[in-house]
């Protein structure tokens, strides 16, 4: 778990991008009908829980390495996560 602020950009269903600078320990729900795209400047500090038409409350591991830039990570309503 990270103790530093992280920049996050989300885009839901192809709409406007929302940019946030979030503190460690922050939690937020993002809802969409088809796709959610996530970009961050610190993939190692981000963990995700997914609920869609295939899985419910699936906890994913962190998105990448500490301070790894991740752009356009897409989560779809029909994705299954192994």
pLDDT in tens, 4-60: 899 999 999 999 999 999 998 888 889 999 999 999 999 999 888 888 888 888 888
Kindly write down the DSSP assignment for every residue of 2-70, as one continuous string: --S-EEEEEEETT--EEEEEE-TT-------SSEEEEEES-GGG--EEE-SSS-SSEEE--SSSTT--E
Q: pTM of the prediction?
A: 0.84
């Amino acid at each position: 778990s990270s103790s530093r602020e992280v920049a996050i950009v989300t885009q839901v269903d192809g709409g406007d991008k929302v940019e946030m600078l979030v503190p460690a320990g922050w939690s937020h729900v993002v809802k969409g009908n088809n796709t959610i795209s996530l970009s961050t400047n610190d993939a190692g500090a981000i963990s995700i829980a997914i609920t869609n038409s295939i899985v419910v409350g699936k906890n994913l591991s962190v998105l990448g390495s500490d301070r790894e830039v991740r752009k356009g990570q897409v989560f779809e309503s029909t994705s299954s996560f192994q």
